Amino acid sequence: MRVALVDYDSGNLHSAEKAFTRMGRAAGAEVTVTSDPETVARADRIVLPGDGAFPSCKAALDAVPGMVEALREAVENRAVPFMGICVGMQMLATTGHEYRETPGLGWIGGEIGAIRPADPALKVPHMGWNDLRLRGAHPVLDGIADGDHAYFVHGWQFHPADTAHLLADVEYGGPVTAIVGRDNIIGTQFHPEKSQEVGLRLIANFLSWNP
151 burial class (0-12, 13-18, 19+ CB within 10 angstroms)?
middle
Which member of 17, 98, 111, 193 is catalytic? 193
Active site residue 193: yes
Which member of 138, 154, 165, 191 is catalytic? 191
**Enclosing H/E stretch for 183:** none
Extract the runs of DSSP E, i.e. beta strands, from 40-94: 45-48, 82-85
Measure the CA–CA gap between 84 and 92, rounded to whole angstroms.
Answer: 8
Q: Which residues pair with 170 in a beta bridge?
A: 176
Which member of 86, 111, 138, 165 is catalytic? 86
Q: Are strands 30-34 and 95-96 parallel, antiparallel or unpaired?
A: unpaired
Q: Which residues contact 77 (CB under 8 A, 6 or more apart)?
A: none
Active site residue 126: no
Active site residue 57: no
Mind telling me the catalytic residues?
86, 191, 193
